[in-house]
Structure 1
């Protein structure tokens, strides 16, 4: 994947229970780090996606690649960007980085689908969200004709 520019970064506070018996962050914990990144991103870019109980977005697919272990006392952060917006879904790319060395520790690709909690059905990505993500990212190439 081409080198992405991330406009959203959230620092991660490592906790004692994040580590396993091998002394590094357990693989299952990374998902909570990425959730923190998503929540922070949406709070900044599209606050209604996290504040509304009626309409939102849900994860349809998530793929994680673990590249390097994270050890205690490392200074890490999650970076989040939207890379593509379809009719009913959008793709996020996230990475966990060591902020002191810029090493990428782990990458995550997520497909999120517009979802109406009342009808329990998918829905189109609102134009307001599409504009907010595109404006925040500063790239006009996010919209795709075909559905993700």
Structure 2
């Protein structure tokens, strides 16, 4: 695999993922060259991230009407390693790599049915105050939900 700056050792990194979301590549996601359009993995990242947050229980906190905070994606990147085609079954793995004061570094890994890594990525997500629009530190409850998931 090509060198990716946020991955030191691929095998070690690969083994730290526990959660994945299954995806089937749809015809509408294919470009005129017959492979997955380069914009689609970002949408896959979003879907897997939301499913992961639902799994951890934090999405329910953010979507509660009384919540004072919302998650905002500050940056994203995707590194393409292998072509993906219509109908392929992928496992989109997601994990929180690092937790900051009000941010988190989220990593993604897509594997095909043979276990080959097709693309990887990362997002920086910031928890913001709905009122001020500024970063809002994680509560102790949120930290516990994020650091000790029931996988």
How far the C-alpha of 1:7 sits from its partner, in A, is: 1.5
Whole-Å Cα distance in 1 between the matches of residues 69 and 60 of structure 2?
9
- Aligned with residue 51 of structure 1, among 63, 66, 74: 63
Q: Does 1:65 align with 2:65?
A: no
Whole-Å Cα distance in 1 between the matches of residues 101 and 48 of structure 2?
23
Note if contact 1:81-1:137 (Cα within 8 Å) is conserved in structure 2: no
Whole-Å Cα distance in 1 between the matches of residues 117 and 30 of structure 2?
18
How far the C-alpha of 1:35 sits from its partner, in A, is: 0.4
Q: Does 1:9 align with 2:9?
A: no
The TM-score, its normalising length taken from structure 2, stands at: 0.83
How far the C-alpha of 1:12 sits from its partner, in A, is: 0.8
How far the C-alpha of 1:119 sits from its partner, in A, is: 2.1
1:28-39 counterparts in 2 under 5 A? 28-39=39-50
| Structure 1 stretches of at least 4 aligned residues deviating more than 4 Å after TM superposition | none
Q: Which stretches in structure 2 are left out of the alignment for 5+ residues?
A: 1-6
RMSD across aligned C-alpha pairs, in angstroms? 1.8
1:50 to 1:15, Cα distance in 2 relative to 1, 3 A: farther
Instruction: Give the total of aligned pairs.
Output: 137
1:1-148 counterparts in 2 under 5 A? 1=7, 2=9, 3-4=12-13, 5-45=16-56, 46-52=58-64, 54-98=68-112, 100-136=113-149
Whole-Å Cα distance in 2 between the matches of residues 60 and 131 of structure 1?
23
Whole-Å Cα distance in 2 between the matches of residues 77 and 13 of structure 1?
9
SS of equivalent residue, structure 2 residue 84: coil
Note if contact 2:107-2:120 (Cα within 8 Å) is conserved in structure 1: yes
The TM-score, its normalising length taken from structure 1, stands at: 0.85
Which residue is 2:3 aligned to? none
Note if contact 1:59-1:111 (Cα within 8 Å) is conserved in structure 2: yes
